[in-house]
Amino acid sequence: MTKRKFPVFVTACVLWAFVLFSCGLQDVPYIGRVLEPAHTSLSGTDEFRLPSSGDIGFGSMDPFTHFVIFYRIYLSNVFHGADTVDASHDRISINSQLNADYNAAFSWTDPTNAAVNTAGVHNFFVNTRGFFPLELEGNAIGGHNGVLGGDSLGRAMRIDFSGIPGQAPRLWLDNRSYYLRRAGGIGDGFDFEPLPRIGNALPFFNHMELLDGENRTNRTVNADVALQVPTGGQIEHSYVMMYIAASGLSLTAPPVRVFSQPTFLGIFRLPSPGW
């Protein structure tokens, strides 16, 4: 009797495990990555196309909510004169922490790396590397009516750091522009007060209050600025590195945040405020 029951029991356990595992696979949707812009420079990106719903693996049960852009600011004593920053020695010359963050993120962004656990994208950028989700002045990025929500699928986008003094950097979606806003004190539990604050705006400007050492080391102020800075020269310049990922909600109960593999957007130089 025992010899006959044991195989039945084992078979039942295997079938039950298969059912549970299969349900888990169905509940975690795949979200494809954003393709890199054809060209990026210190002044921004060329126009590139955001994925459409068909491009990033959506089915009838759509997990997508919005695109999220992670950023971190780095101070420097180097004015990088070339158009782009595309070599490790260039990144190190600007700020060694910038190069360290770029190297740490490379395996996450490498499209040939099939082993990326995208469930950890937010934790990697925000909690491990000190990045923050980008915001927009006067407009939400996510949500039903967010600028990078469902209506942004398939549209043309570019990042504009033109370098014109006083021209705040912008995100362009088709023919409409939105001013970039630094994180802090608004959403996602980020409780710090970035400087400079110009009116109620938090623009990406190479401003003296951004370069100030006390503001940088006080994490209740400029927490989005890397602590490490180069030695041997006066800190006069600032750069920002950005990554983009598609974000959505799993089909589990309760739903959890899921991400695509992130895409490197570029390293950009912050313009002066023009005064």
pLDDT of residue 184: 78
11 or 99, which is more confident: 99
Bridge partners (DSSP) of residue 238 are 75
Confidence check: pLDDT of 20 > 50: no
Q: Is the dihedral of CA 161, 129, 62, 145 positive or negative?
A: negative
Confidence check: pLDDT of 62 > 50: yes
* Residue of 173, 175, 174 lying closest to 141 (CA atoms): 173
64-95 confidence digits (pLDDT tens): 889 999 999 999 999 999 999 999 999 999 99
185-230 confidence digits (pLDDT tens): 655 667 788 999 999 999 999 999 999 989 988 889 999 999 988 7
Cβ–Cβ under 8 Å, residues 235 and 211 = yes
* Residue found by looking up tokens 């070339």 in the block: 82
